[in-house]
């Protein structure tokens, strides 16, 4: 298995150099990504691939169910580096339909450490119980909850001292919420972008539903 991986890597490297001589030499000197991507660890949702971006074009942080914990030093360190060192001005929180983490959060089963990690999603499910009750089945409910989780992530990123400080300094940073469809390969804008001077209301809406 590992040997196959290394062979594919060499093939990819050789093909890339053939298509664009000097590519890796140039890439090694610096990175200047336009986007900071906070996404799910799901192997079916690799940021570069689904967004059609090359190496060096997106700075990525991933975790189970793309949860934004206000105490997650890993995420916060990456966010600070993206904003202060890489001067990225477009931040994306991206979830996906059919998310296993969201599914686990809605199951009455023990999942070990994941139970603590997924607690913010459970809180969302309780807070939006009336909205979620409109869903016709559990798959629809979980996909709706995945959308709400993205909006909550946008809110939490926007409320970090890192973003508040950057906006106070006049930095034109925007935080976007996207959701990816495993069944069609499409990214959808949840229309919840927060920019300098914006304030998110107490109610979150997705596709016009509160």
Catalytic choice (8, 10, 26, 44): 44
- The span from the CA of 87 to the CA of 131, in Å, is 38
Quote the strand ranges of the chain, DSSP E. 35-40, 58-63, 90-96, 174-180, 187-189, 194-195
Question: Is the dihedral angle over the CA atoms 7, 46, 101, 156 positive or is it negative?
Answer: positive
End-to-end alpha-carbon separation of the chain, Å? 48
Catalytic choice (61, 94, 99, 155): 99
**Is 96 a known active-site residue?**
yes
Strands 174-180 and 90-96: parallel
**Is 99 a known active-site residue?**
yes
**Is 40 a known active-site residue?**
yes
**Is 135 a known active-site residue?**
no
Catalytic choice (96, 142, 156, 176): 96
Q: Binding site for Zn(2+): what residues are annotated?
A: 40, 42, 96, 99
Contact 173, 83 (CB under 8 A): yes
Q: Annotated catalytic sites, by residue?
A: 40, 42, 44, 96, 99
């Amino acid at each position: 298995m590992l040997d196959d991986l290394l062979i594919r890597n060499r093939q990819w490297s050789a093909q890339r150099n053939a298509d664009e001589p000097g590519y890796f030499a140039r890439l090694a000197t610096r990175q200047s990504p336009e986007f900071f991507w906070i996404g799910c660890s799901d192997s079916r949702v690799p940021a570069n691939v689904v967004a059609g971006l090359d190496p060096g074009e997106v700075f990525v942080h991933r975790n189970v169910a793309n949860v934004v914990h206000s105490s997650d030093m890993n995420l916060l360190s990456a966010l600070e580096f993206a904003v202060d060192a890489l001067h990225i001005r477009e931040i994306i929180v991206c979830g996906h339909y059919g998310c296993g983490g969201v599914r686990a959060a809605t199951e009455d089963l023990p999942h070990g450490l994941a139970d603590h990690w997924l607690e913010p999603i459970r809180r969302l499910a309780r807070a939006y119980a009336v909205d979620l009750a409109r869903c016709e089945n559990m798959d629809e409910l979980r996909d709706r909850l995945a959308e709400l989780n993205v909006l909550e992530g946008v809110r939490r990123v926007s409320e970090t001292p890192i973003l508040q400080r950057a906006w106070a300094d006049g930095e034109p940073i925007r935080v976007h919420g996207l959701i990816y469809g495993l069944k069609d390969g499409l990214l959808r804008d949840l229309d919840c972008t927060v920019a300098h001077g914006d304030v998110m209301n107490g109610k979150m809406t997705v596709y016009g539903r509160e």
